[in-house]
Amino acid sequence: MKKTYEESLKQLKELSEKVKDPNIGIEESMKYYEEGIKLGRELTSALEKNIRKIEIINLEPEDEPKTEEYTLEEV
């Protein structure tokens, strides 16, 4: 099942909280950090693609907007 942007953002916030947990070891903290960095890059890329999509829509004639759908899996 594909994750939505919002679901991925929620997961990133959860990873951030795990990294801050003083009760976990450095290895586990680094694992969460690396996962968070990867997810953050995917979210940034998805957001940039949607911004470009909006720009394309705004440039198209009003009667025929052309759009493309993006998911996090395509990033």
How many distinct structural domains can be found in the chain?
1
Range of the domain at 43: 5-74
Q: Up-side HSE of residue 19: CA atoms within 13 Å toward CB?
A: 14
Q: pTM for the complete prediction?
A: 0.70
The Cα–Cα gap between 41 and 31 comes to 16
The Cα–Cα gap between 37 and 16 comes to 10
Q: What would the pLDDT profile of 15-60 be if each residue is shown by its tens digit?
A: 999 999 999 999 999 999 999 999 999 999 999 998 888 888 777 6
What one-character-per-residue DSSP string does 4-47 give?
PHHHHHHHHHHHHHHHH-TTS-HHHHHHHHHHHHHHHHHHHHHH
